[in-house]
Amino acid sequence: MNPLGILPAVGSAICWGTFFVPVRKVNVVNIWQLQGATGIGVLLFAIPVGFFSGFQILPAGLLSGTIWAAGNILALYSVRLIGLSRTSPFLAGFSVLVSFLWGVLYFGERFNLMALAVAGVGLLLFGLFFISNTSKGAPIRKRGYLVATASGLVGGSYVIPLQAAHSLQSGFFSSSLAIFAVGIPLLLISRNFARKEMLAGMLSGGLFNVGSLAVLFAVGLIGITVAYPISQTATLFAVSWGVIYFREIVHREAILKVAAGAGLILCGAALVTVA
């Protein structure tokens, strides 16, 4: 494993742990509008990058971007229902699980200590129990957790078409273009062009794409089974934003449960990394 690949993976975690913050700041009023604005931000970042990586239109990249857009729409809905601090760990946990299974079962990636890797995934999933246990009996919260789970299952697969086609970097512009193409019709359907929400969505899209470019480099250097779990430590940053800045959780017991869950998820990701 190339240790240099860990650096872009960590950079991705920082960006992905922060990219929902502008959207949360405007309270996710209109999901279609925010997805459209996010697509604009994604493309604005991809264009200058394209001068270096190329402007190829690759089917794998288009599919990758479409998958991510679907996962992000679900994530936005989940943030609206249960907040950033609860959505992010579920999104991260199931994304790691899906990427782990793709790497092992489809791409044939192997670990020196498979038992340690499996234990890491188990810790990661166990951490979700603490987070989901902070709001028993609330139907809207249960729906939010289900949506967050679906978002993780979908979003964890978004890089797979690019890796399968061996076009991780060359497909970057194509995936960005697909996210833009999915978002614009949704923006028009929303008929909402409020300046504050548009700017929040565009900033969110830019942060996502910085992280996306970083994780593509990391996957190329250290493989998806290691790079993606590291990138999903983004939950540490997202939970911190949700609890400390947005004060989504105020009860001490609930905060401790979320912190314990996030910690288990991070420990699980670390075990997968060193396995």
Residue pair 227/9 in contact (Cβ under 8 Å)? The answer is yes
CA distances (Å), origin 46, targets 73, 119, 206:
20, 37, 9
Per-residue pLDDT averaged across 127-143, rounded? Answer: 64
The per-residue pLDDT for range 236-268, each reduced to its tens digit, is 788 788 888 888 777 787 778 777 877 887 787
Residue pair 64/216 in contact (Cβ under 8 Å)? The answer is no
CA 262 – CA 235 distance, rounded (Å): 7
Tokens of 96: 């790691």
Q: Is the pLDDT of residue 64 over 90?
A: yes
> What are the backbone dihedrals phi and psi of residue 136, each rounded to the nearest 5 degrees, phi first?
-65, 140
Q: What is the pLDDT of residue 1?
A: 59
CA 134 – CA 137 distance, rounded (Å): 10
Q: Is the pLDDT of residue 173 over 90?
A: yes
Q: How many domains does the chain have?
A: 1
Per-residue pLDDT averaged across 43-69, rounded? Answer: 91
Q: Is the pLDDT of residue 184 over 70?
A: yes
Q: What is the pLDDT of residue 109?
A: 75
Per-residue pLDDT averaged across 197-222, rounded? Answer: 90
Q: What is the pLDDT of residue 140?
A: 59
3-state SS assignment for residue 6? helix
DSSP codes, 55-80: ----HHHHHHHHHHHHHHHHHHHHHH
Q: Which domain holds residue 141?
A: 3-274
Q: What is the pLDDT of residue 108?
A: 81
DSSP codes, 134-195: TSTT-HHHHHHHHHHHHHHHHHTTTTHHHHHTT-TTTTHHHHHHHHHHHHHHHHHHHT---H
Q: Does 45 or 28 have the greater pLDDT score?
A: 45
Residue pair 96/229 in contact (Cβ under 8 Å)? The answer is yes
CA 223 – CA 99 distance, rounded (Å): 10
Q: How confident is the model at residue 138 (pLDDT cuts 50, 70, 90)?
A: low
CA distances (Å), origin 213, targets 37, 50, 134:
19, 11, 34
Per-residue pLDDT averaged across 111-128, rounded? Answer: 78
